[in-house]
């Protein structure tokens, strides 16, 4: 069988099996089980939030966050152009208008210096997203939000376990979210969580994830919600994974540093920033950018795949998504954004926790071979 190193493989150990078996042995497999509350409490404490609301996936967490803030028709929400579509989906599904801000070509995060010019009388929130393991510059966003009385939604899906100015990512803004997809630092298979320090907001999130049942009149509904509950089985996985979070973040950093060392002298590619003035990169994924003389990244991706090295393209810009164009969004953007260059020239290579030195060396060797063919 031909060798293949995937982009990611989750680490599932004996502790995960132990807690999952407890669910099966006791019959607590639904969202009613005790591990859900434990997972919410322990992860919230880890990132210095008062309340955590576990849900079925990261996209569900975004839906809940937007709905909890009562964002809707006629409202505008500012978000990065360079991010996964789930962020904009939650805004559009709520009936609001997404307004994009371009990415910084060096750190790949939203340019905070361009946010203020996007604010209108309809703007109600800023959605800030930490990209690929390096935080966005949070303080300028919080200052702008305070100045204009805007809510802040923090998407920390790619950086749980990371910090901004020594404070945990996920702890900023009005409300924050994360994902527990198998490629994340904590996985529950599928899963997500919403965080806030506001009690009334947390209660609203709990209601929205549970079909908007009311405590006094269970089957009388004043709002439309979702069945976005997390199961006890998922939470069992999450609890076990949380116990290894710090160790796994150190391993992610070691993987990134190994790639930096081995690829540092390779011409015609740009490596991810190691750090900024406010944060260190924890390398959720290890991305590279090709110089334009090598052509677009898709040729390199095909070559790597043929050599048994998994890879993925960078995010496709939100403002270029055909589905949003059909809905009439972003037609006012005329100039080319840096996020389009990131998509065309960027890719990421295997970055999962199962990587060892031998696998990293293999990936680097095949990457060098593929790059030589492009020169």
Place of tokens 């994830």: 209
Query: For 169-184, how does the pLDDT look when each residue is reduced to its tens digit (9 = 90+)?
Result: 999 999 999 999 999 9
42 & 186 share domain: yes
* 275/213 same-domain check: no
Are 74 and 216 contained in the same domain? yes
1 located within any domain: no
Three-state DSSP class for residue 48 = coil
- Go through 289-309 and write b for each residue having 16 or more CB atoms within 10 A of its CB, e for each that does not: bbeeebeebeebbebbeebeb
Residue 1 has pLDDT above 80, yes or no: no
Total domains in the chain come to: 2
Q: Report how far residue 18's alpha carbon sits from residue 332's, in angstroms, rounded to the nearest whole number.
A: 54
Assess whether 18 and 108 both reside in one domain. Answer: yes
Residue 200 in any domain: the answer is yes
Domain end, chosen from 243, 278, 312, is at: 243
Two tokens at 359? Answer: 């696998």
Same structural domain for residues 190 and 97? yes
Q: Per residue in 65-110, pLDDT tens?
A: 999 999 999 999 999 999 999 999 999 999 999 999 999 999 999 9
Share of residues in the chain with pLDDT > 90 (%): 96
Q: Report the CATH number at residue 219.
A: 3.40.640.10
Q: What's the whole-number mean pLDDT along residues 113-140? A: 98
Distance between CA atoms of residues 231 and 60, nearest Å: 14
Q: Calculate the dihedral angle through the C-alpha atoms of 195, 201, 205, 207, rounding to the nearest 10 degrees.
A: 150
**Same domain (yes/no): 233, 305:** no
Does 206 share its domain with 286? no
List the beta strands (DSSP E) in the chain: 51-55, 76-80, 97-101, 123-129, 151-155, 163-164, 167-168, 175-179, 192-196, 269-270, 286-290, 312-313, 346-349
Distance CA 67, CA 211 (A): 13
Q: Is the pLDDT of residue 138 over 90?
A: yes
pLDDT band, very low/low/confident/very high, at 333 (cuts 50, 70, 90) = confident
Looking at the structure, do residues 222 and 270 belong to the same domain, yes or no? no
Instruction: Say whether 251 sits in a helix, a strand or coil.
Output: helix
Distance of alpha carbon 322 from alpha carbon 327, whole angstroms: 9
Residue 8 lies in a domain: no
76 strand-pairing partners: 97, 123
What is the SS3 assignment for 80-121?
A: ECCCCHHHHHHHHHCCCEEEEECECCCCCCECHHHCHHHCCC
Under a CB-based contact definition with an 8 Å cutoff, are residues 325 and 331 in contact?
Answer: yes
Backbone angles phi, psi at 21, to 5 degrees: -65, -30
Q: Which CATH number covers residue 299?
A: 3.90.1150.10
Mean pLDDT of the chain: 97
Average pLDDT over every residue of 105-118? 98
Q: Output b/e per residue, 77-113; b: 16+ Cβ within 10 A.
A: bbbbbbbbebbbbbbbebebbbbbbbbbeebbbbbbe
Looking at residue 334, its pLDDT comes to 80
Residues 189 and 265 in one domain: no
Q: Could you list the residue range(s) of the whole structural domain that residue 173 is in?
A: 14-243
Is 267 domain-assigned?
yes
Give yes or no: residues 53 and 190 share one domain.
yes
Quote the pLDDT of residue 33. 92
Instruction: Dump pLDDT digits (tens) for 276-314.
Output: 999 999 999 999 999 999 999 999 999 999 999 999 999
CB 170 within 8 A of CB 178: yes
Go through the chain and tell me how many residues it has: 375
Within a domain: 5: no
Which of 243, 266, 298 is at the close of a domain? 243
Please write the tens of the pLDDT for every residue from 208-231: 999 999 988 889 999 999 999 999
> Of 176, 211, 243, which residue sits at a domain end?
243
**One domain, residues 260 and 214:** no
Residue 260: which residues within 8 A CB-CB, separation 6 or more?
Answer: 271, 274
pTM above 0.85? Answer: yes
Residue 6, domain member (yes or no): no
Shared-domain flag, residues 48 and 176: yes
Q: What is the pLDDT of residue 335?
A: 85
What does the pLDDT average to over 246-265?
A: 98
Residue 194, in any domain of the structure? yes
């Amino acid at each position: 069988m031909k060798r293949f190193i995937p982009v990611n493989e989750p680490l599932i150990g004996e502790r995960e099996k132990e807690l999952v078996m407890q669910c099966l042995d006791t019959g607590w497999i639904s969202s009613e089980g005790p591990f859900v509350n434990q997972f919410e409490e322990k992860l919230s404490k880890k990132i210095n939030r008062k309340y955590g609301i576990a849900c079925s996936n990261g996209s569900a967490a975004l839906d809940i966050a937007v709905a909890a803030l009562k964002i809707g028709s006629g409202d505008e929400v500012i978000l990065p152009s360079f991010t996964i579509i789930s962020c904009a989906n939650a805004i559009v599904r709520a009936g609001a208008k997404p307004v994009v801000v371009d990415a910084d070509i060096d750190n790949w995060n939203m340019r905070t210096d361009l946010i203020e010019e996007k604010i209108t009388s309809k703007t109600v929130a800023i959605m800030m997203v930490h990209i690929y393991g390096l935080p966005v510059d949070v303080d300028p966003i919080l200052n702008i939000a305070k100045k204009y009385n805007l809510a802040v939604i923090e998407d920390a899906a790619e950086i749980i376990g990371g910090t901004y100015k020594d404070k945990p990512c996920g702890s900023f803004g009005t409300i924050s979210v994360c994902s527990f997809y198998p490629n994340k630092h904590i996985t529950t298979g599928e899963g997500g969580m919403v965080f806030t320090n506001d009690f009334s907001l947390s209660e609203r999130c709990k209601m929205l994830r549970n079909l908007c049942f009311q405590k006094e009149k269970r089957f009388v509904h004043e709002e439309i919600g979702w069945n976005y509950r997390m199961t006890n089985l998922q939470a069992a996985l999450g609890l076990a994974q949380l116990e290894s979070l710090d160790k796994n973040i150190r391993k992610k950093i070691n993987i990134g540093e190994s790639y930096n060392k081995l690829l540092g002298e390779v011409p015609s590619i740009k490596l991810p920033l190691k750090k900024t003035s406010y944060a260190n990169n924890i390398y959720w994924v290890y991305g590279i950018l090709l110089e334009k003389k090598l052509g677009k990244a898709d040729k390199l991706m095909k070559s790597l795949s043929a050599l048994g090295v998994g890879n993925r393209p960078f995010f496709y810009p939100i403002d270029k998504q055909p589905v949003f164009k059909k809905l009439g969004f972003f037609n006012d953007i005329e100039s080319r954004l840096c996020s389009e260059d990131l998509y065309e020239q960027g890719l990421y290579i295997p970055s999962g926790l199962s990587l060892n030195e031998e696998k990293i060396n293999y990936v680097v060797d095949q990457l060098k071979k593929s790059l030589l063919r492009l020169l």
